[in-house]
Structure 1
Amino acid sequence: MSQNKDKGSSQALWVHIAITYGYVFLWITLSAAVILYNKWVLAYYAFPYPIALTMWHMFFCAGLASLIIRAGYVEPVKMNAETYVRTIVPIGFLYAGTLWLGNAAYVYLSVSFIQMLKASMPVAVFAVGCMFGTEYFTIPRLLNMLVIGTGIAIASYGEINFIWIGVVLQMSSVATESMRLTLVQILLQASMAGCGRLWRRGIKLNPITTLYLIAPCCFAFLCVPFAFIELPKIINDTSVKLSPLIFLTNAGAAFGLNMAVFLLIGKTSALTMNVAGVVKDWILILLSYLIYKAPVTAMNLEGYGLAFAAVCFYNFRKLQEMQAASRAPAASSKSGGISMVPVQDEESTRLLQDSKMGGTSSSTALAGSGGTPLSSRG
């Protein structure tokens, strides 16, 4: 009897493992598809208007999320105006900038080079975090950041199609995203200290409600630059193409990516997400070379390889710090009979719990760790 029970639990565990890494595959596929699709629309389809494309993504995602909520498939979130302004609006403003500037870079730069520039994200998050007190400065961390920066500089020096405006746009996108992530961390820390209104009031967000809240905010902020920068150009552009099929499938891919991001966050560990992100970046560099014939030089790869190794080391050290932090309360709680799970066992434990319960439940905050919720650019 016990053998049959163990066998059933083992089979259920393997099924959940397969589902989990199916989510990883789905996220990598959709993320790469959205990036390559956006690149094609902005650079090859005669629609070089990144603000308009991003606004369309936000409009589509907000509308679809609203329909799902109104149909009763997802319970709506009750939030007053004060809470919305204090928590959602600042994040929406920064994320609108991230999406706009990141999509605009695809007009000028290759997908492969943009992925190399994105390796600077830990540097930006570290710099902004030190300014706001969410990261602490050490000489080893500074040296790690310098190695990442050196690798990106080498990759940039070896880039054949180096266009300054594209680099400025992408690095500005990295800057706004680092500020957004830091703001999210501050809000989370405030909530744990009893000062965060959103989480203190028990408001839990899922993929649909997050899109419902943040996408309209992003859309509203993007209306201002769109009205002054792109709308006059679109009106006078006789060559602009507006195929309903292209834009519906493009926005549908962006919506699917948002769902995949939240599924990935809820079903995997930080380590798995980091590894999946690395795999995705290398796949995109290869696909950019094969599909768009984007030249990739040996110096590109050497510089990115150096930055990549430094980023991996940085992530490894961060995970070690998380594990050390989890062991401290675990040791202090033994006397009280509380069992704490080490970080390295987080994923397997979640899978075991899911296999026993026959389902999953996870609450997702407005946070990203390598993956970015509410994404229209991958």
Structure 2
Amino acid sequence: MGKGGSLSEGVVKKILISYAYVAIWIFLSFTVIVYNKYILDRKMYNWPYPISLTMIHMSFCSFLAYLLVSVLKLVEPVSMSRELYLKSMLKALMPVAVYSTGVIFKKETFKSDTMANMILISFGVGIAAYGEASFDTWGVILQLAAVAFEATRLVMIQVLLTSKGITLNPITSLYYVAPSCLICLFVPWVIKEFPLLKATSSFHFDYLIFGTNSFCAFALNLAVFLLVGKTSALTMNVAGVVKDWLLIAFSWSVIKDTVTPVNLFGYGLAFLGVGYYNHSKLQALKAKEAQKKAAQPDEEAAGLLEEREAEGAERKNESQG
């Protein structure tokens, strides 16, 4: 690392790779959200069954992961005990915010400035939601619940990917997680949507639409495991704000949804929070590089001392011989 706190080539490469992971996830997440809207919206494809759509996604992901791991054996299987699997997944029963969950499970170190930054981002997004032209209280409640459970899911993925004694790649992660999601969706599906689907005799499964949509969901899930495994659940959650900006721009320019000044102000605050988060991450990398550089002379000195002691001992043995 040179003067002025510049970053080494290795750290710059790491940053670029991390941003590449983020970009891939944002693109796939954006694609799946827009595609799902097309399928669920009554004015478009008109198939308003979100639980059923998610179950189709998880069924496809489970089948494809099983095919790659157990049948074709293109991906090395992982030895995981039932106890470890249940221990990692059952912790997801505690729905709290991403940062708080990350701190609880020791995936993030608590820092007051980071918490304040997360509050700023949340506050900005909250203002943007309040300024929504078609504000719906029940929709906001559902969104808050979704945020809480998504936060927990992301941290649980991080726990599963870094559990002691196992190493999971995106495919094997999906191999274990997708069936669990499918089972969890079954009860609400039976209660809420199965009676409606049973009564809809005119529905015919469109393999092209649901197949391509499921493949996009499969790619997105792989990107989620890759991003969380290489960075953190918190980084992915912050990147989600950038995805929201893209969705707003798309909704305003293509779908012609109304964007209010309050929306723009709220996401402006969130933008400041994201910018500060990236700045903090960069400073942390610089500090880590400085520590490594400071430790190198000590390590070199210790190595030279050991060599000299070894040479002295060897000479002593020769003289005694």
Q: Label 1:270 to 1:227 Cα distance change in 2 as closer, same or farther (>3 A).
A: closer
Alignment of 1:313-328 (within 5 A): 313-321=276-284, 323-325=286-288, 327-328=290-291
Per the TM alignment, residue 318 of structure 1 is displaced from its structure 2 partner at its CA by 4.2
TM-score of the pair, normalised by structure 1: 0.63
Q: Equivalent residue for 1:63?
A: 63
Map Cα deviations across residues 187-207 of structure 1 (whole Å, 9 max, x no partner).
78xx7xxxxxx43x2x22112
| Aligned residue in 1 for 2:81 | 80
Q: Report if aligned partners of 2:68, 2:75 keep a CA contact under 8 Å in 1.
A: yes
**Of 118, 133, 138, which residue of structure 2 is paired with 1:160?**
133
Q: Evaluate the alpha carbon distance shift between residue 330 and residue 82 of structure 1 in structure 2; reply closer, same or farther with a 3 A threshold.
A: farther
Assess, with a 3 A threshold, how the Cα gap between structure 1 residues 276 and 143 changes in structure 2: closer, same or farther: closer
- Answer with 1 or 2: which has the greater Rg: 2
Identity among equivalent pairs (%): 47
> TM-score, normalised on structure 2?
0.72
In structure 2, the gaps of 5 or more residues are 1-14, 302-321
The correspondence for 2:177, drawn from 198, 211, 214, is: 214
**Structure 1, residues 121-163: CA drift from partner, whole Å, max 9, x if none?**
xx9323445666754253x455434433432333123211111
3-state SS of the aligned residue for 1:72?
Answer: coil
Please tell me the root mean square deviation across aligned C-alpha atoms, in Å: 3.9
Instruction: Name which of 172, 190, 210 aligns with 2:145.
Output: 172
Mapped contact 2:123–2:266 kept (Cα < 8 A): yes
Alignment of 1:327-342 (within 5 A): 327-328=290-291, 331-332=294-295, 334-337=297-300
Aligned in 2, Cα 1:250/1:151: closer, same or farther, shift over 3 Å? same
How many Å apart are 1:252 and its aligned residue?
Answer: 0.8
1:119 is aligned to none
Which secondary structure state, in structure 2, belongs to the residue aligned with residue 204 of structure 1? coil
C-alpha separation between the residues in 1 aligned to 2:18 and 2:121?
A: 31
CA 1:252 to 1:292, structure 2 compared with 1: closer, same or farther past 3 Å? same
> Match of 1:29?
27
What's 1:347 paired with? none
Secondary structure of the residue aligned to 2:97 is helix
Q: Which whole-Å deviations, capped at 9, do the CAs of 1:230-269 have from their partners, x for residues lacking one?
A: 2122212356563222111110111122344456668899
Corresponding residue of 2:110: 136
Q: What residue number does 1:307 align with?
A: 270
After TM superposition, give the deviation of residue 66 of structure 1 in Å. 0.9
User: Does the CA-based 8 Å contact 1:46-1:241 persist in structure 2?
Assistant: no
- Matches of residues 358-369 of structure 1 in structure 2 within 5 Å? none
Structure 1: gaps (5+ residues): 1-16, 98-122, 192-197, 339-378
Show the counterpart of 1:38.
36
Say how many residue pairs are matched: 284
Q: 1:250 to 1:270 in 2, by over 3 A?
A: closer
Measure the CA separation in 1 of the matches of 2:232 and 2:114: 23
